[in-house]
Structure 1
């Protein structure tokens, strides 16, 4: 489990980190937040859903991508931690860093102190967090900028999601799939499995919106988000396929160098999705 700690010029003055070379840290994530800015990149590879993030009324929802249908198993990773889709959601590309509110409520850079990528003091080959004058190094500053841009677009995404909720367009979604015969539990292999807890756009209600509401949602781009979620449901078949491959311990091996083809190498800190 991650333990986030705000960076401190005293506590981390000698600290450094290594850039991750795999995504094993995401191996148990079965969903992740998605931003409006990366919709066009995620739609070819991921099913999108809404996840409730508050228990009080009115319930707030977060836009997420589905990464697995079983607990604690991200099927977009192989056993070596290699991501098996050309596009890696931006949520994972700032690790081991994140943003947390400081004592004044301002977003500040934080680090996962449980990560093996972080060393305090720094080890040979590490990238330092701080300069001698107490300012962030250029590399750390780039991470802060990347995460700040993510936060800004996250706020935009939330406003649009809230608009869909206010229009009463978000409804419960039960996702069904059937494990193949290689499932470790023979009984489960025969039965259809249902995954609950996620939400989708109510397509029928979307079609019956009043002209005023429809125009309002179209004007602020919330309508585009609604249709994106509906279109992304076509990727469920691919997700089920990945689950079957994972159950049989057979990892898909791309015949092309997708990193080179789609230009995703070395894009950890880029926000131009």
Structure 2
């Protein structure tokens, strides 16, 4: 999945053209997310992510039938361009980092209906032809590093498609509704987050038993509960905002 904000210059990896390419281990690849106040999550990540981030759903265009698509995101900040988890020293202040960020500068992109290729962000300072760990062996085969990367981004891509279908199902059941979060900082400054979708408790409770059973059997009910649990982290984001404002410099 190519994220236009993250992958500034995505290029399909080619064993001949990029034979000399290396990955620099001394570069903080997560610095690319410095201005991200939210980032895409796959459904498989909800269990880990809900412990640290609010998980919200954002509109993601329409499908071929004109139905609204949604994308779940982990929220990193309360304002545009604000990442409260990436610290000044480059440290990510959370135990869990979204999978696509962990894979950076690599990702996977679809080039045909049934064909995908590994890509890298040519704009990343983490890729080099002179420094770092080689991506290819002398014989042109992928190095152990590249093999591990390929497996990881392929697994993520499978989960991306699964997540898309899950979002579609939740929208079909009308379970995601526009919501707004309002709060105040200790100095009285108002904080408002809107433009997102979240699970609607009333609609969920009113679902027919057959639909509830289907959600439970497919693991979607557990995902909804993780999403609902995660909303308590909005208050923690306020604490992070206050702590950053009170930090000298």
Pair 1:138-2:144 in alignment = yes
Shift of 1:128: 1.1
Structure 2 CA distance for aligned equivalents of residues 90 and 9 of structure 1: 25
Structure 2 CA distance for aligned equivalents of residues 177 and 21 of structure 1: 33
Q: Kindly tell me: are residues 103 and 169 of structure 1, through their superposed partners in 2, closer, same or farther at Cα, counting changes over 3 Å?
A: closer
Match of 1:230 in 2: 228
Shift of 1:104: 6.7
Shift of 1:71: 0.9
Q: Where in structure 1 do 4 or more consecutive aligned residues deviate above 6 Å?
A: none
RMSD, aligned α-carbons: 2.0
Match of 1:263 in 2: none
Structure 1 CA distance for aligned equivalents of residues 200 and 248 of structure 2: 36
Structure 2 CA distance for aligned equivalents of residues 50 and 193 of structure 1: 19
Structure 2 CA distance for aligned equivalents of residues 239 and 96 of structure 1: 27
Higher strand share: 2
Match of 2:94 in 1: 85
Q: 1:49 aligns with which of 56, 79, 92?
A: 56
Q: 1:168 aligns with which of 170, 174, 179?
A: 174
Structure 2 CA distance for aligned equivalents of residues 176 and 250 of structure 1: 27
Count residues in correspondence: 240
Shift of 1:180: 5.0
Match of 1:27 in 2: 34
SS in 2 for 1:10: coil
Q: Kindly tell me: are residues 22 and 130 of structure 1, through their superposed partners in 2, closer, same or farther at Cα, counting changes over 3 Å?
A: closer
Match of 1:76 in 2: 85
> What TM-score do you get using the length of structure 1 for normalisation?
0.81
Shift of 1:142: 0.4
Q: Kindly tell me: are residues 146 and 250 of structure 1, through their superposed partners in 2, closer, same or farther at Cα, counting changes over 3 Å?
A: farther
Structure 2 unaligned runs (5+)?
A: none
Structure 1 unaligned runs (5+)?
A: 182-189, 252-273
Match of 1:210 in 2: 208
Match of 1:97 in 2: 106
Q: 1:122 aligns with which of 109, 113, 130?
A: 130
Shift of 1:161: 2.0
